[in-house]
Amino acid sequence: MKKFFLFLFFVSSLFAQVEYSRKGGGTGLLPKFYIDLATYASQDSEKSKIDVFIKIPYSNIQFLKTATSYAAKYSVTISLYDDDEVLKLEKLWTEKINVQNFQQTSSNTSFSISYKSFTVKPGEYKFVCKVEDLESKKHFPFEQEVKIRKFSQNIDLSDIILVSEYIESQEGTKIIPNISNLVTSQDTMLSFFYELYSNADTTLNIAYSISDKEKKLLYIKDNKIKVEKGKNEINETLENIKFALGDYQLNIKVIENDKMIKGIGKKFSSKIFGFPAIVTDLDEAIQQMQYIAASRDISEMEDIENYQDRLDAYINYWKRLDPSPNTVENETLNEYYRRVAYADESFGGYFKGWRSDMGMVYITLGPPDQVTRRPYEIDTRPYEIWDYYVINRSFIFVDQTNFGDYRLENPAYGDWFRYRP
Residues of the chain with pLDDT under 70: 1-31, 377-379, 411-421
Output the DSSP codes for 154-190: SSEE---EEEEEEEEETTEEEEEE-TT-EEETT---E
- Long-range contacts of residues 166-170, Cβ cutoff 8 Å, at least 24 apart: 166/191, 166/235
**Prediction pTM value:** 0.78
Contact 230, 198 (CB under 8 A): yes
Chain centre distance of CA 147: 22
Q: What is the pLDDT of residue 378?
A: 65
Residue 373, strand partner residues? 14, 384
Angle at 76 between CA 111 and CA 149, to 5 degrees: 100
Distance CA 68, CA 101 (A): 10
Where would I find the H helices in 209-356?
282-287, 295-302, 307-320, 331-346
- pLDDT at position 15 is 37
- The DSSP secondary-structure symbol of 418 reads G
Number of separate helices (H) and strands (E) present in the chain: 5, 24
Provide the pLDDT for residue 13: 35
Domains along the chain with CATH numbers: 8-24+276-419 (no CATH), 31-150 (2.60.40.10), 152-275 (2.60.40.10)
Secondary-structure breakdown of the chain: helix, strand, coil percentages, each rounded to the nearest 5: 15, 45, 35
pLDDT value of residue 30: 54
